[in-house]
Amino acid sequence: MLEAKNLSFGYPRQPAIVDGVSLTLRPGEITGLTGPSGCGKSTLGRLLAGVLKPQSGSIQLAEPRGGVNPVQYLHQSPIFAVNPRWRIGRIIEEAWAPDEATREALGVSRDWYNRFPHEISGGELQRVAILRALAPEVRYLIADEITAMLDPITQADIWSFLMQRSREGLSILAISHDRHLLQRIASNEISL
C-alpha cells in the first residue's frame, strides 16, 4: 500500500502547485486522477514516484525503494523517455529482461529490438515504455496520460492489458482528462 499524507510541492517564487494532498493506492485497484490543466496532476504523480521530493508531507510505502523503484512513472510522450541513441532491445533491458508472455501480451514485437526509437510509431514506443516499467519489483504504476496521443484501438489494447495486470495485483494511478476513459477503468476517482 502506498499512503501519501498532506503532500505539498511548489516551484521557487511561485505558489505551491500541490498543496496538502492525501491519497492511498491499494494493490489491485486503478485510481483515476483528473482535474483541469496545470492543477498539479503530473507533479503529484512525480512526487509519488519519487522523481520529485515533497517539501512537506510524507509518503509511506510498504516496499523498499532501493534498486528498481516499486513506483514507476510513465510519461505521456514516450519519445522523451527513451535514449535516442539506444536501440529498443537495450532500452527495454535497461530495467529488466521481460518474459515472453508479458512481451507478447503487450504486443511488443521482437522485430523492433534492433531499431532506434524514431523508427517505430508512437503507439509502439508507448508499449515499449510500459513493458520496460513492469519489472517484477514494480507494484505501482503512475500512468500520466499514457494513451492521450494514441488511436482508440491502441488505447483499448493497452488499457485492457493494464486492467488484467491490475486484477493480478498491480496498483495503477491513471492520470487523465478523459472522464469517459476513467469511468471505464477506474475503481475510484480523485479530482484535484
Partner 1 sequence: MNHAVAPQAMNSLVIRSNNRISTLMLTALGLGGILLVALGSVLIGDRGITMDFSARMLAPSWQHWFGTDQFGHDMLARTLHGLSLSLNVGLITAALSTAIAVVLAMLAATGGRWADAVVSFLIDTTLGLPHLMLLILIAFALGGGTTAVIIAVTLTHWPRLTRILRAEILQVRSAEYVQASRQFGKSWWYIGRHHLLPHLLPQTLVGFTLLFPHAILHEAALTFLGFGLEPGKPAIGTLLADSMRYLMAGNWWLGLFPGLGLLLLVLSFDAIGNGTRKLTDPRLSEV
Q: Binding-site residue total for partner 1 (CB under 8 A)? A: 23
Parallel, antiparallel or unpaired: strands 2-9 and 56-61 = antiparallel
In angstroms, the CA 179 to CA 32 distance is 9
- Name the one range near partner 1 by CB under 8 A: 11-19, 27-35, 48-56, 179-187: 48-56
The beta strand positions in the chain, using DSSP E, are 2-9, 18-25, 30-34, 56-61, 71-74, 140-144, 171-175, 188-191
Q: By CB under 8 A, is residue 59 in contact with partner 1?
A: no
Closer by beta carbon to partner 1, 33 or else 129: 129
Q: Of these, 49, 106, 125, 141, which contacts partner 1 (CB under 8 A)?
A: 49
Can you spell out the DSSP letters for 120-170?
A: S-HHHHHHHHHHHT--TT--EEEEESTTTTS-HHHHHHHHHHHHHHHHTT-
Q: Which string of x and - marks every residue 4-43 that binds partner 1 (by CB under 8 A)? A: ----------------------------------------
Q: Which string of x and - marks every residue 79-118 that binds partner 1 (by CB under 8 A)? A: -xxxxxx--------xx--------------------x-x
With contact defined as beta carbons under 8 Å apart, do 97 and 132 qualify?
no
Q: Which residues bind partner 1 (CB under 8 A)?
A: 49-51, 66-69, 72-73, 75, 80-85, 94-95, 116, 118-119, 132, 135
